[in-house]
Structure 1
Amino acid sequence: MNDTPVSSYQPELRTVQVTRYVTPLREGGSLPAIAEADDDFLYVLKFRGAGQGPKVLVAELIVGEIARLLGFRIPEIVFAELNEAFGRTEPDEEIQDLLRASEGLNLALHYLSGAITFDPLVTTVDARLASQIVWLDCLATNVDRTARNTNMLMWHRELWLIDHGAALYFHHTGQPWEEQARRPFPQIKDHVLLPLATELDAVDAEFRQVLTEEKIRSIVSLVPDQWLLEGEPEEQRQVYVQFLTTRLAHSEIFVNGAKDARKAII
């Protein structure tokens, strides 16, 4: 966890201009890339024109900033502008098509140079931190924190959370969000840290105090209109707010589900 007081958290994202495509990260189907921006920093660039479209960017932004609010270490998230001329010199046709489909506003995360993938056999995580991460992933319905793909990095001997694009999967299903907001999260049985998560009740009480509707609404308000393609943008933002606040109000459902899943595997 970081040392920033949650009371001082103010959601705000910088905007950078992508100046150089460095190399693709051929992990998964979305082809993220390492890119350089006009501030001379390197970023992991997530493309709006990839696989599942801008919904992945929406989840990355919302859940990443919720995690930051709760005190986790998250690489800085920025808006990344991709100029229409950017992909013209790219020799790889697949990447060139991706760049053309992603012109305009994308999302990027500060590249943690030298970071290594978290390995539970090498790094010990205490029960409190494990419980905090499991709670976050239950709230956000994040299916992507398994032993095969932990989506956590060790950087300067500290644990960082990355890649929340697979969270909030209700927005891919087409099913009513009201039903899904009140469901347990059965995929938590595969969570890499679940066996260590013995303090879920205490974490639940703590995080519910921090994660107010006002703070959720302020985070969701950051989502750009151009990423909300299925109707009126403000109505779609309201769906995300309602999903998260409803899920939070009924957190005992996913907490008890996680506790039951843990009992079944230990």
Structure 2
Amino acid sequence: MLREVVTTRYVTPLREGGSLPAIVEADDLGMYVVKFRGAGQGHKALIAELVSGELGRGLGLAVPELVTVQLDEAIAKGEPDQEIQELLLASVGRNLGMDYLPGSLGFDPVAFPVDSEQAGRIVWFDALIGNVDRSWRNPNLLRWHGRLYLIDHGATLIFQHNWPRDAGALEKSARKAVNLEDHVLARFAPDLRAADAQLAPMVTSEAVDAATALIPDEWLVGEPGFDSPDDVRRAFRDWFAARVRAPRSDWLPELAR
């Protein structure tokens, strides 16, 4: 299970995010960037953030710790901004938080060159999860204590918004590529061949199961076409298995420069 914390103070909204995430303080005295299930993207953005983040961590990439964050109605009602209060009231209960990295710097490809091996690992991972949200316009990378941290995976795994219903649809979905030509690390000649050789064998059913096991049941209950949360978890496993066995030429971009 993910570590669970309880919100003690709403600190400030992060208005550059479309879903209005926020920095909150919790009962462990830690600070977290929280995404709320009451936002427009709903709980599936939290699921994508969780599954992609934990898979990335399992592949050896740096991802800030993820926790579930309980939000009490009293804190929601105490927020004077009406827009924020409505969001918080719609999010009472369990949300998803990411450890706040104080003093971290947004990634600047001019100031912080990346070697081709690390670039390849990150680009390969983004191709795997269908992440188009790591462009030069919006890198979603932080530099902290000399390491490059991956953040903001809520727009990944879009197949869960329209689950494939048969084997043919599953294979078609798993072969789908995303356009990563604008990837912020494309300029660093990412070594995708080396990344694929190293990382693909690590995307096992066990690794996917470990990530999806962390999804709270309440975020999976009632998913159309599925009888139980575990059925949804198995669907994630099946999709990733099909993704890894698909020809790489279908979904892995050629970005080396």
TM-score (norm 1): 0.89
Q: Which residue of 2 aligns with 1:165?
A: 154
Q: Could you tell me which residue of structure 2 aligns to residue 103 of structure 1?
A: 92
1:258 corresponding residue in structure 2:
253
Identity %: 47
Q: Given the alignment of the two structures, is residue 129 of structure 1 paired with residue 121 of structure 2, yes or no?
A: no
Match of 2:234 among 234, 238, 243: 238
Q: State the distance in 1 between where 2:4 and 2:13 align.
A: 21
Aligned residues: CA RMSD: 1.6
Q: Does 1:189 align with 2:181?
A: yes
Letter in 1 for 2:203: L
- Indicate the SS of the match to 1:19: strand
Q: Deviations over 1:140-189 (max 9, x none)?
A: 0011000000000011122111111111112234665612111222x211
1 CA distance for matches of 2:102 and 2:126?
Answer: 25
- Where does residue 223 of structure 1 map in the other structure? 215
Tell me how far 1:251 sits from its aligned partner: 5.3
Q: Is residue 180 of structure 1 aligned with residue 176 of structure 2?
A: no
Contact 2:63/2:149 (8 A) holds in 1 = yes
1:97-143, Cα deviation, whole Å (9 max, x unpaired)? 11011011100000001111001011000000000000000000011
TM superposition outliers: structure 1 runs of 4+ over 6 Å? none
- Equivalent in the alignment of 2:194: 202
Which residue does 1:140 correspond to in 2? 129
Amino acid at match of 2:240: L
Question: 1:163 and 1:239 mapped to 2: Cα distance?
Answer: 23
One-letter code aligned to 2:244? L
Please say if 1:66 is aligned against 2:42.
no
Gaps of 5+ in 2: none
Question: Matched residues in 2 for 1:68 and 1:16: separation?
Answer: 20
SS where residue 60 of structure 1 aligns? helix
- Number of aligned residue pairs: give it: 249
Is 1:59–1:166's contact at 8 Å kept on the other side of the alignment? Answer: yes
- Unaligned runs of 5+ residues in structure 1 are 1-11
Q: Is 1:35–1:43's contact at 8 Å kept on the other side of the alignment? A: yes
Structure 1 residue 238 displacement after superposition: 1.6
Q: TM-score, normalised by structure 2?
A: 0.92
- Matched to 2:12, the amino acid is T
Aligned to 2:74: 85
Q: Tell me if the contact between 1:204 and 1:251 (Cα under 8 Å) persists in the aligned partners.
A: no
Identify which range, 246-255 or 148-157, moves more after superposition: 246-255
Are the counterparts in 2 of residues 138 and 254 from structure 1 also a CA contact under 8 Å? Answer: no
Structure 1 counterpart of 2:245, from 225, 245, 249? 249
Tell me the alpha carbon deviations over residues 163-222 of structure 1, each in whole angstroms, 9 at most, x when there is no partner.
11111112234665612111222x211211123244211211111222211111121111
**Do the aligned partners of residues 69 and 254 (structure 1) sit closer, same or farther apart at CA in structure 2, a change above 3 Å counting?**
farther
Deviates most, 206-215 or 100-109: 206-215
Q: Which amino acid aligns with 1:53?
A: G
| Matched AA of 1:78 | V
Give deviations 1:16-58, integer Å, cap 9, x for gaps.
0111000000023200000000000000011011011000000
Corresponding residue of 1:47: 36
Q: Secondary structure at the match of 1:16?
A: strand
2:173 maps to a residue whose letter is Q
Tell me if the contact between 1:225 and 1:233 (Cα under 8 Å) persists in the aligned partners.
yes
